[in-house]
Structure 1
Amino acid sequence: MKKDYLIPISIFLSAILVSCVIVYVTNNDEKPFSGNDAMASAVEIICGEGINEVTGTGFIIDHNGPIVISNSHVVVTNGVVNENIFAVFYNSEEKYPLSVISFDEALDIAVLKFDNAIKTNVFIFGESGRLSYGQNVYAIGNSMGYGLSLSKGIISVPLINVKYSGNERLMIQVDIGLNRGGSGGPLLDEGGKVIGMMTFRLNGGDYLVQGMSYAIPSDVIQKYLDSL
């Protein structure tokens, strides 16, 4: 009997390589999507060191100061927060220490803060409840731990019930490939607003499955933030 498996995308790798100022760089309706602006508001997330190192992705928003949003499975293992969590910006090797503020393993959402004051760009949220079939979207991810990259695709299903980690939840299905290390990356609309967070892809066991990746809707993330 064929079995389908849903795979969270973080990766174990050997070693990889004043005041707070917030810069809003998200595009308005009259400005075309800027990949460069988007890349400046996302980060690689690195946990641990050496053979125990885990990598993922996060994105920065303003919530009474800059915070990083990612998947809990990137920074938490069996209910315990991973040690030595760092953010790395695009085209940089400098590591910025992070601390976990809150996480929910059932929702697979984690909220982190920078340990030190930082000048940074931020995303703003879009409305995940107003998405359309075939809508153009973009995703940023630290694929295979090789650093941040930008991908383009479409929304395959605006909202779909998917069973993941024993819980059924509403997700956004996209045709963008999601590789290991890409968990926690932002899913963006053509205005550069965050409409979701890339979380897992479908793995068909013995069958090669392509173009079936899932993102947590931004409305779910905002509701979680409002509850803190």
Structure 2
Amino acid sequence: MRAKRYLSLALCAWMALAGGAVAQEATTTEDPGLSDVLTDLLNGGKGGGAATPGPDRRVPFGREEMQLSFAPLVKDTAAAVVNVYASKQVKVRSPFEGDPFFEQFFGRSGPRNRSSLGSGVLVDPSGIVVTNNHVVQDADQVKVALSDGREFTSKVLLKDETLDLAVLKIDSDKPFPTIAIGDSDALQVGDLVLAIGNPFGVGQTTTSGIVSALARTHIGVSDSGFFIQTDAAINPGNSGGALINMGGQLVGINTAIFSRSGGSIGIGFAIPSNMVRAFTEAAKGGAEFFERPFIGASFEPVTPQIAESLGMDHPAGALISSVDANGPAARAGLKPGDVVLAFNGAAIEHMEGLDYRLATQPVGGKATLSVLTKGEEKSVEVALERAPEGTSSNEVLLRGRSPFAGAKVAELSPRLAQRLRVATDTKGVAIVGIDGGSPAAGFGFQPGDIVREVNGETVDTAAKLKQLAEEDTRWWRFTVERDGRIMRQMLRY
């Protein structure tokens, strides 16, 4: 009798997976214990026939549920994911160049094209494409190819190395297919996502996965410290492609992978769509560089020791290290030693999180900060202003017989510091441009370098640096700061 009952049970389970309607009929047979046993089996085989508490999980019922697919979602979005081809002419020097004997056999070296391949996402029907900066960086020509075979030469509207984002523009008489930009703050760990791009140049590819983590920092691909981590397979060529949610909205721009072999091992990173939206709006508005709101305060991480001294349960937030006396933070009553715990209601877990939240806000608005001050938490409203230009930001072209000849310099202001991608509270004289073929270019100076000292004298103004650079001497000793590193050089020129 027991064998007969379980034979009926097995048949019933098979019919449930095959038809649904037949299964419903089978579970209403005259055998009073059959439905209880089937329920027990579908709930993990535990005794008692009662469903275990927890999420509503079950095996698929019916053929329709077993045939669920991402295909309709891909069909609606894939046309807006494009291929991005960037090329740059570089001169390759032959080891035989300058030797008349070998040149007659091997010839002179000439320029060659260096190309890179990536992906991009159409986010506006007028032809606005978002991709990664590293895909188009230093390119002489950037082409965009759509999935229908059309190709367009694009114009770079805006790019930012620190965010690793770039916005391109292509033109056509007809509107382009697009993907709507979603709210990346609505993502939760475990949400299903799709990654669409062109890995290894094999053609458009879609992979699926989940959101593995949020707000990842220090992954080494850019200065931005707020990434979505996913296990959807991302490979070289996927850079700039779309990470979409189950609503068909763009929630991230695929940027990097963690890999020792060059292929996907299930650890990929994407720039959140809220940052993409802010960057795209700046590009559409004609911005020369991506401008972050200025509040006139500097921050540092909250270490376990600092958290303990402030009576905090665990390290979190961003510690205010200095405040500009004339800035918005000072006017709001913020002081060094205060800890920012939340920004417009979003918890700040680390200093990079605050930088991200600030960068996604428009200049001219206001933000509400939750701040821990003197052991008490309070709410503070801070104005988000444009970084001040300063009083001595005029550019000066250096001349004379010095290693600095051909460099354009200016005294740092918060606004200039933003443009050069250095901390807004940095002081000194910065190189803002280099004339091609000049001595400064030959010696390797770069825009963003901060000149600290020349021939034993401190450089504090552009006029001072101009005076020192025009001195008649062949020996040069100088100190330059680059990316937070101090470099000292001595040479005869």
- Normalised by the size of structure 2, how large is the TM-score? 0.36
Do residues 69 (structure 1) and 130 (structure 2) align?
A: yes
Name the counterpart of 1:144: 200
Choose from 138, 159, 173 the match for 2:215.
159
Q: Contact conserved, 2:127 with 2:171, CA < 8 A, in 1?
A: no
1:135-192 CA-to-partner distances (Å, cap 9, x unmatched) read: 1000111110112111111110132223324625110000012111110001000011
* SS of 1:124 mapped into structure 2: coil
Do residues 226 (structure 1) and 281 (structure 2) align?
A: yes
Choose from 209, 225, 232 the match for 1:169.
225
1:83-132 CA-to-partner distances (Å, cap 9, x unmatched) read: 2211111142x321111001001000000000444431111111111111
Distance in 1, Cα, partners of 2:220 & 2:182: 24
Name the counterpart of 1:6: none
1:24-52 CA-to-partner distances (Å, cap 9, x unmatched) read: xxxxxxxx952112111110111228862
Distance in 2, Cα, partners of 1:122 & 1:208: 28
Q: Contact conserved, 1:69 with 1:110, CA < 8 A, in 2?
A: yes
Q: Contact conserved, 1:99 with 1:115, CA < 8 A, in 2?
A: no
Name the counterpart of 1:102: 158
Name the counterpart of 2:247: 191
Distance in 2, Cα, partners of 1:150 & 1:37: 13
* SS of 2:280 mapped into structure 1: helix
Q: What is the letter of the counterpart of residue 35 of structure 1?
A: V
Equivalenced residues, count: 191
Do residues 54 (structure 1) and 116 (structure 2) align?
A: yes
Q: Which runs of 5+ in 1 are unaligned?
A: 1-31
Choose from 104, 107, 111 the match for 2:167.
111
Distance in 2, Cα, partners of 1:56 & 1:117: 25
Do residues 88 (structure 1) and 145 (structure 2) align?
A: yes
Q: Contact conserved, 1:41 with 1:60, CA < 8 A, in 2?
A: yes
Q: What is the letter of the counterpart of residue 82 of structure 2?
A: V
* SS of 1:155 mapped into structure 2: strand
* Aligned-CA RMSD value: 2.5
Do residues 43 (structure 1) and 82 (structure 2) align?
A: yes
Going from structure 1 to structure 2, the CA distance change for 1:166 and 1:224 (only over 3 Å counts) comes to closer
More helix, by proportion? 2
1:47-91 CA-to-partner distances (Å, cap 9, x unmatched) read: 22886221100000128x330000000011xxx3x1221111114
Name the counterpart of 1:23: none
Distance in 2, Cα, partners of 1:47 & 1:216: 21
Distance in 1, Cα, partners of 2:232 & 2:76: 20
Distance in 1, Cα, partners of 2:219 & 2:74: 32
Q: Which runs of 5+ in 2 are unaligned?
A: 1-70, 89-111, 288-493
Going from structure 1 to structure 2, the CA distance change for 1:194 and 1:208 (only over 3 Å counts) comes to closer
Distance in 1, Cα, partners of 2:165 & 2:224: 15
More strand, by proportion? 1
Q: What is the letter of the counterpart of residue 116 of structure 2?
A: V
Do residues 201 (structure 1) and 257 (structure 2) align?
A: yes
Q: What is the letter of the counterpart of residue 183 of structure 2?
A: E
Q: What is the letter of the counterpart of residue 182 of structure 2?
A: G
Distance in 1, Cα, partners of 2:226 & 2:273: 11
Name the counterpart of 1:16: none
Q: Contact conserved, 2:221 with 2:256, CA < 8 A, in 1?
A: no
Distance in 1, Cα, partners of 2:222 & 2:255: 15
Q: What is the letter of the counterpart of residue 45 of structure 1?
A: V
Question: Who wins on radius of gyration, i.e. which is larger?
Answer: 2
Distance in 2, Cα, partners of 1:224 & 1:120: 20
Instruction: Give the CA deviation at 1:208.
Output: 8.3
Q: Contact conserved, 1:187 with 1:215, CA < 8 A, in 2?
A: yes
Q: What is the letter of the counterpart of residue 68 of structure 1?
A: V
* SS of 1:120 mapped into structure 2: coil
Distance in 1, Cα, partners of 2:222 & 2:172: 37
Moved more, 127-136 or 103-112: 127-136
* SS of 2:177 mapped into structure 1: strand
